[in-house]
Structure 1
Amino acid sequence: MNDYEILLRRICEEAERQEFPIDISVYKSAGKIPTEAILSSGKFNTQICFFGRDLGRDEVIQGQPLIGASGMLVRKEFYRTLYSREIITKDDVQSICRRALLTNTVPYKPPGNKAYSHKVKERFRPFIEQLLVVYWQGNQIITLGTEAFKWFSPYCEAGKIEEFWKRPDRYELKFTVILKATDFHGKHYERKVHLLPLPHPSPLNKQYYARFPQMLRKRLNEFEF
């Protein structure tokens, strides 16, 4: 068992330790064990991470983050920006996993479409920290929506995230934080990362949905990847 498999096992153990809201019916209909984490897809030796809120039905069924309606919008524009053509095949859909890491604030699906509480996010924070600092090697994180961006509040001066989020130009700027993590051997890590916030790419997000592809393209063009 490698270190990443140990990380997944520890997350499962934490999920089993104390009950919290999980959309059990979706897991059962997909033939999945509800406490088995769907933590990430993609490669660790990449520059970009896409950081979402939590899993949806399609993500549980397919066993990976960002592959429902919102995730497909991200995947399609990522592919279009890289290759100047449209997604056609299943391999095209998965091509993002060769160039980026995909993950969420919590590696489980909450009931309905409600975000997990602060308490649940904090339970799983140490594992997400390890993923982003110990395993992943990049430093550019594209956050998708308010919940994803504000997850990073503990890594900067109090109030700075809220202050930044009130800016009308927040989707055009970067926000730098120092992530910290401790592995299972007690070794401490830290890394400076740049957050590139974007609105959540949900079809329900009437204000930004139509503009999201252009906004993502602009973000991706800010650096070589």
Structure 2
Amino acid sequence: MRDLPAELQARFEAAAHQLPGLDHAVYEQAQRDPRSPIFGLGADDAAIAFFGRDPGRDEVHAGVPFIGTGGRQVRRVLHQRQHGDELTDRAAAIAAGEPYFWANTVPYKPLGNKAWSMAIKRQFQPLVATVLHDCWSGSQVITLGREAFFWFGIGQTPDVRARLEAHWADPQRFETSPAISHAGPDGVVRTLTLHPLPHPSPLNATWFKRFPGLLAARLETLEGLS
């Protein structure tokens, strides 16, 4: 995984100084700087980005996103497709994610694993958008859960927000993919195609068992495999 550019890393650290709701106890247990964001940038030309909500305890301890119970659901599917066998350890889980780009709405662990408030998401949106626009050149984004999907409407035009609302209301939302015009903090607009999926947490009882099949179907389409 690549590191963030130094200037961008410093901007995140400044924004996270005295961040209310940050789970300092977990960062202290992990002996990690609570101001340092958790990203998994991957190659700048990765064909697909995974976009989730925020890191949890396992992600803080590992310093790697999407490595806890929910994230391993994602990485298990990736490993299975790459190697044809079951995921057995963390090293293999991390390796399975290397061909992809990884980001979250807010790259810090919140207290109680509750979603960050809209105010905090708005605070970090320009920085996270800069990561997407400047550190990744792709256009295909698999979003994990409602919070991740609707992040792409923050700071965007009413038309974009309306399209996201309409898509999420569609019963086929996990099988279809809206293309949106996403403006970065510098005003440059890129076309991103969003491929929403449910959040992979085991607490999401409605979708947890169906998630691997839904993700595999998305990847079949995006990676052109039969």
> What is the TM-score when the length of structure 2 is the normalising length?
0.90
Partner Cα distance (2:204, 2:222) in 1:
27
SS of 1:159 mapped into structure 2: helix
Aligned letter for 1:169?
Answer: Q
Residue equivalent to 1:216: 215
Spell out the pairing of 1:97-112 with structure 2 (5 A cutoff). 97-112=97-112
- Are the aligned partners of 1:42 and 1:96 in contact in 2 as well (CA < 8 Å)? no
- Are the aligned partners of 2:12 and 2:127 in contact in 1 as well (CA < 8 Å)? yes
- Are the aligned partners of 2:82 and 2:96 in contact in 1 as well (CA < 8 Å)? no
Cα deviation, residue 101, structure 1: 0.8
Aligned letter for 1:165?
Answer: W
Deviates more, 1:152-161 or 1:29-38: 152-161
Aligned letter for 1:56?
Answer: G
Deviation string 1:13-51 (CA, Å, 9 cap, x unpaired) is 1122x5321001000011012112113342222011111
- Are the aligned partners of 2:78 and 2:97 in contact in 1 as well (CA < 8 Å)? no
Residue equivalent to 2:197: 198
Question: What is the root-mean-square deviation in Å for CA atoms of aligned residues?
Answer: 1.8
Deviation string 1:129-165 (CA, Å, 9 cap, x unpaired) is 1111111011111000010001111445142211111
SS of 1:49 mapped into structure 2: strand
Residue equivalent to 1:14: 15
Deviation string 1:152-185 (CA, Å, 9 cap, x unpaired) is 1144514221111111000000011122224xxx
- Are the aligned partners of 1:41 and 1:65 in contact in 2 as well (CA < 8 Å)? no
Identity among equivalent positions (%) equals: 37
Residue equivalent to 1:86: 86
Deviates more, 1:18-27 or 1:170-179: 18-27
The runs of 5 or more residues in structure 1 that have no matched partner are none
Partner Cα distance (2:4, 2:89) in 1:
32
SS of 1:178 mapped into structure 2: strand
Which contiguous aligned blocks of 4+ residues in structure 1 show a shift greater than 6 angstroms? Answer: none
SS of 1:217 mapped into structure 2: helix
Partner Cα distance (1:39, 1:216) in 2:
21
Partner Cα distance (2:177, 2:82) in 1:
21
Residue equivalent to 2:143: 143
Residue equivalent to 1:25: 25
Deviation string 1:177-199 (CA, Å, 9 cap, x unpaired) is 122224xxxx6533211000000
- Are the aligned partners of 1:39 and 1:103 in contact in 2 as well (CA < 8 Å)? yes
SS of 2:222 mapped into structure 1: coil
Spell out the pairing of 1:147-186 with structure 2 (5 A cutoff). 147-154=147-154, 155=156, 157=159, 158-182=161-185
Aligned letter for 2:213?
Answer: Q
Partner Cα distance (1:83, 1:159) in 2:
40
Cα deviation, residue 72, structure 1: 0.5
- CA 1:3–1:35 in 2, change beyond 3 Å: closer, same or farther? closer
Partner Cα distance (1:159, 1:188) in 2:
20
Partner Cα distance (1:3, 1:188) in 2:
21
Partner Cα distance (1:62, 1:103) in 2:
15
Partner Cα distance (1:188, 1:134) in 2:
12
